[in-house]
Structure 1
């Protein structure tokens, strides 16, 4: 049981590191909070919640993996290296793809409801 508790401690330490050192991760956390509050306000249905939660988790996970890949790349290649740069660029590209997926998904879920609110007023 002690090992399990320690492993959770390491996981929270990693989350805290990402949050305190990575501006983009903080932006994504606050965007996740905003999307959750908007979903609550607009009373999105269970299926829509599943998509919103999937987007949030994919975004945070890819941002954390990007942070880990960047840190590891800096460790093994402290000086400029073209291949190391490609690794970092590809990792950032993965984050961008998830961000675009999340943006489109959010648009599909939220825009019709927001438009309806303005037309109802």
Structure 2
């Protein structure tokens, strides 16, 4: 049904009721920021529920965060130790997003789907290696002394 099929006297009623060809208004200002914030919290909550790897890395970050303040002797060292923990979580979130999109496309195997998932997994691995290297260089020497 198009607007031309509706008698002239009823067009405004139909247009208002069904909002023909009108995009829904997007929030602006602080409302947009708040909406985005709550969507972000929902994404964290969903990822915690569904991704075991994210839960494990989050637990590791919670345990290691106080250690970063204790083992990092300078603010720069502390920032590097804390930054690597957050980087692992960020990359794991992105990997989970890639996996969700690939799974949404379909369950059948496709070479490109496998490449996308493997690349996401490789990004997590490299980030974990970076975290291990930074923590080894900064945090282990104070423990040895």
Question: Is the CA contact (8 Å cut-off) linking 1:69 and 1:88 kept in structure 2?
Answer: yes
SS at 1:104 equivalent: helix
Alignment TM-score, normalising by the size of structure 2? 0.75
Larger Rg: 2
Question: Is the CA contact (8 Å cut-off) linking 1:59 and 1:99 kept in structure 2?
Answer: yes
SS at 1:61 equivalent: helix
Alignment TM-score, normalising by the size of structure 1? 0.88
Aligned twin of 1:85: 114
- The alpha-carbon deviation at position 55 of structure 1 amounts to 0.3
Q: Return the alpha-carbon distance in structure 2 between the equivalents of residues 22 and 7 of structure 1.
A: 22
Higher helix share: 1
* RMSD after superposition: 1.3
Question: Is the CA contact (8 Å cut-off) linking 2:72 and 2:81 kept in structure 1?
Answer: no
Unaligned runs of 5+ in 1: 117-121
Unaligned runs of 5+ in 2: 1-29
